[in-house]
Homo-oligomer: A and B are copies of this chain.
Amino acid sequence: MILIDYRDARPIYEQVVERFKMMILRGVLCPDDKIPSVRNLAVDLSINPNTIQRAYSELERQGYIYTVKGKGNFVSDNGQLLLRFKEELFAELKKICKEAFEVGITEEEIIQNIRGGEKDD
């Protein structure tokens, strides 16, 4: 269900958070779907339950999942999530563009690059 990339410099819990976020935003996981238990996923990924717990706490904090004690963790039904994610993404884009403008890269050059680079998805 989830894969960890050990060449990725980011901590494991962060990778887990990102994978679930994308699955939820893409609709692969639907509202009220049950996600794996802390212990189960830990065994599957061969990592410590504490690390999964940390990822799930973060997902709950960001509103992606909700917890029912004794039952498990479930996908939230939160229409704001995609909107908020968009804003975050656009903020990142803006930051990179700003850096680009500083060294003389033009807006058109950036746009051409985006237009041309859509094929390898």
Contacts and interface: CB of A to CB of B under 8 A. Distances in A.
Nearest to A99: B89
For chain A, what secondary structure do more than half of its interface residues adopt (helix, strand, loop), or is it mixed? helix
Contacts of A90: 113, 117
Nearest to A22: B102
A26 B82 CA distance: 36
Interface in A85-110: 85-86, 89-90, 92-94, 96-105, 107, 110
Contacts of A25: 102-103
A118 B101 contact: yes
A111 B113 contact: no
Contacts of A102: 22, 25-26
